Amino acid sequence: MRMRLIRACAVLLLLAAALSIAPAALAQGTQADRIQETVATAKFKKAPPYRIGVAAGYLSNSWVVFCLQHVRYEASRHKEIAEVLVTDAGFNPGKQVADIEDLISKNVSLILYWPVDEKAIQPALEKAVAQGIPTVNTGGGFTYSLGTVANAFIDQVTLGDMVARQLFKDMGGKGRIIAMLPIPGTTAAVDQLAALKALMKEHPQIELLSAEHGDWNRAKAKQITENLLQRHPRIDGVFSPAGQMSIGVAEAFEEAGRLKQVVMSPGDEYNGWLKWVVKHKQGGAVTFPTRVGQEAVRLGLRILKGEPVKRGLVVPSEYIPPSAVPRFVEPNRPDDWWASTLPEDWKPK
């Protein structure tokens, strides 16, 4: 009897140990390893028709609006998708939690999301996964968590490296620069700055005067740059991967009469920036593809069919030199617009 009790206790201890190790094991390895990790999806396999839920952290950003249109367009191309339900948290983490729980209650087949606060929504995402609803993080960052089955994303480190390499090349490998980054603490801001600093180790003659956060806001980026121009009589280059901010920075240099003294890095496909590149014939663009929304839908469908997938699907960025930008710019569209592969009928109205 005593031996049976000891064995039973041993089994319970092993089970407890296994349960305690499982979350920790998820956190091991480099990000490159995690991206390539294969995810078994048999438990999410289900028969169509499918209802896709989109738990948007926000929809006020023009890039996100285009990304969502790509989601809708791709869904329209698959007869097994019956409906796309969209919620907008308006930058409110509590609202996004409620939105995810609402989508769960509506028994959607799949949830695509981009977060306001990743940690805040994890319990809701884990609840979805526990109930057999796969989740796909969609957009500009990679998430490795129990509540995220897979990611369709743009690698911000690679993007930042591409932007910095082109800038350093255009500057001749030396000079003083400033960096204009997105919202502090976001994957974009952290990874882009890390990429810049890593490449600077290969270019000791590049000096970073200041790294600022323009929050993807043209007016704020312009105001910050105006202050930097007063503090620094010489700025040779600008690292700014986001076109919305790049054009604000460039306007500040132009109004200060110092535009000819500075080299602008590539921005992205923001239409206002592309117009600026066509006019000034410098900078170019490193793409931040809005079609990541389509890739997320395709990835989600593979999961719903029970096919194994990689934890991360990277949607690659490409460099567009200034000479090629006229093929992408839409001069008759507003600045707050994006060059995209969407059919005309599916572009935002």
What tens digit of pLDDT does each residue of 49-82 get?
A: 999 999 999 998 899 999 999 999 999 999 999 9
Quote the percentage of the chain above a pLDDT of 70: 92
Residues 206, 123 share a domain: no
Residues 94, 57 share a domain: yes
Instruction: Establish if 336 belongs to a structural domain.
Output: no
Residues 277, 312 share a domain: no
Give me the pLDDT at residue 252, please.
98
Cα separation, 247 vs 346, in Å, equals: 27
Instruction: Establish if 149 belongs to a structural domain.
Output: yes
Residues 64, 173 share a domain: no
Instruction: Establish if 17 belongs to a structural domain.
Output: no
DSSP string, 220-233: HHHHHHHHHHHH-S
Instruction: Establish if 306 belongs to a structural domain.
Output: yes
Give me the pLDDT at residue 29, please.
73
Nearest CA to 51 among 118, 128, 107, 119?
Answer: 107
Give me the pLDDT at residue 26, please.
54
Instruction: Establish if 167 belongs to a structural domain.
Output: yes
Residues 276, 163 share a domain: yes
Task: Tell me the CA distances in angstroms from 95 to 130, 259, 265, one per residue in order.
Answer: 21, 43, 37
Nearest CA to 212 among 246, 258, 261?
Answer: 246
Give me the pLDDT at residue 28, please.
57
The identity of residue 117, as a single letter, is D
Cα separation, 144 vs 119, in Å, equals: 11
Pairing of strands 110-114, 135-139: parallel
Give me the pLDDT at residue 3, please.
37
Instruction: Establish if 22 belongs to a structural domain.
Output: no
E-only strand ranges, the chain? 38-39, 50-56, 81-88, 110-114, 135-139, 150-153, 175-181, 206-213, 237-239, 263-264, 285-286, 309-310, 312-314, 319-320
E-only strand ranges, 159-290? 175-181, 206-213, 237-239, 263-264, 285-286
Instruction: Establish if 325 belongs to a structural domain.
Output: no
Residues 247, 308 share a domain: no
Task: Tell me the CA distances in angstroms from 132 to 109, 201, 304, 323, one per residue in order.
Answer: 8, 46, 10, 49
Is-contact 197 208, C-beta < 8 A? yes
| Tokens, residue 47 | 């028969």
The identity of residue 243, as a single letter, is G
Residues 128, 168 share a domain: no
What tens digit of pLDDT does each residue of 29-46 get?
A: 788 899 999 999 999 999
The identity of residue 67, as a single letter, is C
Residues 168, 88 share a domain: no
Here the CATH number for the domain that contains residue 194 is 3.40.50.2300
Pairing of strands 175-181, 309-310: unpaired
Instruction: Establish if 1 belongs to a structural domain.
Output: no
Residues 168, 131 share a domain: no
Residues 271, 160 share a domain: yes
The three-state secondary structure class of 306 is: coil
Residues 279, 160 share a domain: yes
| Tokens, residue 177 | 């620069």
Give the structural domain span for 227. 156-286
Ranges of the chain with pLDDT below 50: 1-25, 27
Residues 147, 160 share a domain: no
The pTM assigned to this predicted structure is 0.88
Give the total number of structural domains in the chain. 2
